């Protein structure tokens, strides 16, 4: 059984636009990040990291998960949108107020009191996020990633101009904070401009009850996701200090590059796409397997290059003073690669209505992770923290997802077959890259020669699956969504 041709065309077009958006954003951010690393001292990045922890905590629950319900609902949007608007705006304002009032306490708890004002400024992002939740959800629901591209690009241009000017003027962490506010505000304005119908705030008790029963577990899961992804910052800052936190932040951001560059384009449409086919169990499972293989094809080589060439990459691009970040980068890349698959699984379960299962998985994840992070920080510094992150995901979280997938016919064997060739190509890449590291001593040449030869080796291994990626570059309206070059 195949998906409707119209749906496939919309999904394919949305992924293409989202991929272009992600690639442009990530490459641009890398360039700006290199510049800022030379303008802003590591301790100032540490101050910003503390403020970012606070913002991400509350941002993860700012609209209580109700916008996801708007993306996946089969009801008319007009029935839900007014209530979603009210809930999103109200929660954003309340959380912003709590953030402003609690900033001094949290900054002191992190032993970074100079972050107080930065936290209070960045909390304004919560109000913006609440007000723009509905337009963002509608763009995702309608697969309008072309409009999202315009919003993100406009926001990036404005935000970059502000952060560079303020950094040159010596504002340090404040330049990053003001840039974040400007970026969110511009993106929200553009999304509103592209939303054809405005929904005024309204409130329906029955609708609100249904929205919250689905959304609150997802909001709880989002908070736990934040905890999982940011508790390491808290532990590094409190145990090791602000300067190691700056190194760790750089390493974590680099390791997340594949997540943003490759996972986000697919995630921008996966929830809506899975929701469209969830009534057909066979197509539901095949769609996930194909999406996972597509992600693996492009994610594995990026992650291997980051891990195997971490030291020459950091030294060449960011400078010698950032060299300690390479210690954590190689291990954090494994976490980034696994997150790509786990985030797709998150959307799969959310589209199936399994918000409770998602919540339980993340409760277990956080509960196991926290003590291991503390042990890793005490005995291994930022490298020990990175190792703890990857070990927990590999040994606890991945098996938990596999158990949850079983009722939907997704077995480890099926998913393993979907990613087998990309993983084999990654193993070959590691061997080639390490061989080059052993032969060549100069950091720049290790980076260039190792990257080129490892990439060629990977291309040779995965060449039979080239159509998986090329299919996104052209319209294939006659091809079923579950058809692949090999069996899923």
d(CA 139, CA 402): 31
Q: What tens digit of pLDDT does each residue of 366-379 get?
A: 889 989 999 998 88
Higher pLDDT, 135 or 207: 135
Residue 268 pLDDT > 70: no
Q: How many residues does the chain have?
A: 488
Q: What tens digit of pLDDT does each residue of 38-91 get?
A: 666 666 766 777 777 666 666 655 555 566 666 666 677 777 778 878 888 888
d(CA 72, CA 78): 14
* Stretch among 5-14, 206-215, 408-417, 444-453 having the lowest mean pLDDT: 5-14
Phi, psi of 308 (to 5 degrees): -75, -25
**153 with 234, same domain?**
no
Domain that includes residue 120, residue range? 40-203
Residue 452 pLDDT > 60: yes
Is residue 87 domain-resident?
A: yes
Domain stop point among 149, 170, 203: 203
**118 with 232, same domain?**
no
Please measure the distance between the N-terminal and C-terminal CA atoms of the chain and give it in whole angstroms: 14
Residue 210 pLDDT > 80: no
Q: What is the mean pLDDT of residues 158-173?
A: 82
Q: What is the mean pLDDT of residues 315-340?
A: 82
Q: What is the mean pLDDT of residues 294-319?
A: 83
Q: Are 366 and 228 in contact (CB under 8 A)?
A: yes
d(CA 16, CA 29): 20
Count of Cβ atoms closer than 10 Å to residue 406 Cβ: 10
**345 with 460, same domain?**
yes
CA distances from 30 to 27, 33, 169, 246, 399 (A): 5, 5, 21, 16, 33
Q: Are 127 and 58 in contact (CB under 8 A)?
A: no
Residue 224 pLDDT > 80: no
What does the pLDDT read at residue 479? Answer: 38
Instruction: Give residue 1's pLDDT band: very low, low, confident or very high (50, 70, 90).
Output: very low
**366 with 282, same domain?**
yes
CA distances from 173 to 44, 76, 162, 314 (A): 5, 44, 12, 21
What does the pLDDT read at residue 424? Answer: 92
Residue 480 pLDDT > 50: no
Higher pLDDT, 223 or 380: 380
d(CA 360, CA 450): 42
What does the pLDDT read at residue 240? Answer: 83
* DSSP codes joined into one string, 422-452: HHHHHHHHHHHHHHHHHH---HHHHHHHHHH
Q: What is the mean pLDDT of residues 334-346?
A: 83
Phi, psi of 411 (to 5 degrees): -100, 160
Higher pLDDT, 43 or 105: 105
CA distances from 379 to 304, 317, 374, 382, 388 (A): 26, 29, 9, 9, 11
**277 with 185, same domain?**
no
Residue 130 CB contacts under 8 Å (≥ 6 apart), including other chains? 62, 63, 88, 89, 90, 91, 92, 93
What does the pLDDT read at residue 218? Answer: 64
Q: What is the CA radius of gyration of the chain?
A: 22
**252 with 312, same domain?**
yes
**114 with 183, same domain?**
yes
d(CA 442, CA 447): 9
**269 with 229, same domain?**
yes
Percent of the chain with pLDDT over 70: 74
What does the pLDDT read at residue 475? Answer: 44
Residue 221 pLDDT > 70: no
Burial class of residue 371 in the structure, from the number of CB atoms within 10 Å of its CB (0-12 exposed, 13-18 middle, 19+ buried)? exposed
Q: Are 25 and 152 in contact (CB under 8 A)?
A: yes
> What does the buried/exposed string (b/e) look like for 322-335 if buried means 16 or more CB atoms within 10 Å of the residue's CB?
bebbbbbbbbbbbb
Q: Are 68 and 215 in contact (CB under 8 A)?
A: yes
Count of Cβ atoms closer than 10 Å to residue 364 Cβ: 15
Instruction: Give residue 31's pLDDT band: very low, low, confident or very high (50, 70, 90).
Output: low
**282 with 415, same domain?**
yes
Residue 448 pLDDT > 70: yes
Phi-psi region of 319 (alpha: psi -120 to 50; beta: other; left: phi over 0): left
Instruction: Give residue 481's pLDDT band: very low, low, confident or very high (50, 70, 90).
Output: very low
**246 with 386, same domain?**
yes
Is residue 399 domain-resident?
A: yes
Residue 281 pLDDT > 50: yes
The count of structural domains within the chain is 2
Global pTM value: 0.62
Q: What is the mean pLDDT of residues 261-268?
A: 69
d(CA 24, CA 28): 6
Q: Average pLDDT over the chain, rounded to whole?
A: 77
Residue 488 pLDDT > 50: no
Higher pLDDT, 309 or 55: 309
**173 with 276, same domain?**
no
Q: Are 3 and 287 in contact (CB under 8 A)?
A: yes
Please give the helix or strand (H or E) that residue 300 lies within, else none.
helix 281-308
**190 with 278, same domain?**
no
Residue 361 pLDDT > 50: yes
Rounded to 5°, angle at Cα 58 from 208 and 352 = 50
What does DSSP assign to residue 142?
Answer: T
């Amino acid at each position: 059984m195949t998906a409707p041709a119209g749906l496939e065309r919309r999904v394919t077009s949305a992924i293409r636009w989202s991929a272009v958006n992600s690639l442009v954003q990530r490459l641009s951010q890398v360039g700006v990040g290199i510049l800022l690393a030379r303008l802003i001292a590591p301790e100032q990045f540490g101050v910003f990291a503390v403020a970012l922890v606070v913002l991400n905590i509350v941002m993860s629950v700012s609209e209580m998960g109700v916008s996801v319900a708007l993306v996946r609902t089969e009801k008319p949007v007009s029935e839900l949108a007014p209530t979603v608007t009210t809930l999103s705006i109200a929660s954003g304002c309340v959380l912003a107020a709590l953030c402003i009032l609690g900033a001094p306490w949290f900054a002191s708890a992190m032993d970074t009191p100079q972050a107080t004002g930065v936290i209070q400024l960045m909390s304004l992002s919560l109000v913006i996020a609440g007000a723009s939740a509905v337009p963002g959800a509608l763009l995702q629901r309608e697969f309008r990633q072309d409009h999202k591209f315009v919003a993100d690009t406009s926001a990036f241009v404005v935000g970059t101009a502000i952060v560079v000017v303020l950094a040159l003027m010596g504002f340090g962490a404040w330049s990053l904070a003001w840039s974040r506010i400007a970026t969110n505000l511009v993106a929200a304005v553009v999304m509103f401009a592209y939303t054809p119908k405005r929904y005024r705030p309204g409130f329906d008790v029955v609708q609100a009850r249904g929205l919250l029963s689905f959304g609150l577990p997802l909001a709880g899961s989002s908070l736990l996701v934040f905890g999982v992804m940011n508790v390491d910052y808290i532990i590094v800052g409190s145990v090791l200090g602000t300067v190691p936190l700056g190194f760790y932040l750089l390493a974590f951001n680099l390791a997340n590059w594949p997540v943003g560059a490759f996972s986000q384009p697919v995630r921008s449409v996966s929830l809506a796409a899975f929701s469209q086919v969830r009534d057909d169990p066979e197509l539901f499972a095949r769609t996930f397997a194909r999406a996972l293989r597509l992600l693996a094809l492009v994610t594995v080589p990026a992650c291997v290059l980051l891990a195997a060439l971490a030291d020459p990459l950091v030294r060449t691009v960011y400078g010698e003073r950032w060299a300690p970040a390479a210690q954590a980068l190689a291990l954090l890349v494994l976490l980034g690669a696994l997150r790509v698959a786990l985030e797709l699984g998150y959307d799969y379960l959310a589209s199936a209505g399994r918000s409770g299962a998602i919540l339980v998985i993340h409760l277990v994840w956080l509960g196991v992770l926290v003590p291991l992070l503390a042990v890793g920080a005490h005995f291994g510094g930022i490298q020990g923290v990175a190792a703890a992150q990857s070990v927990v995901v590999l040994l606890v979280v991945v098996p938990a997802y596999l158990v949850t997938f079983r009722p939907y016919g997704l077995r480890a064997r099926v998913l393993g077959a979907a990613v087998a060739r990309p993983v084999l190509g990654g193993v070959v890449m590691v061997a080639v890259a390490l061989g080059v590291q052993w032969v060549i001593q100069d950091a720049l040449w290790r980076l260039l020669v190792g990257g080129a030869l490892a990439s060629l080796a990977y291309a040779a291994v995965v060449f039979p699956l080239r159509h998986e990626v090329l299919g996104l570059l052209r319209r294939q309206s006659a091809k079923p969504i579950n058809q692949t070059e090999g069996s899923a």
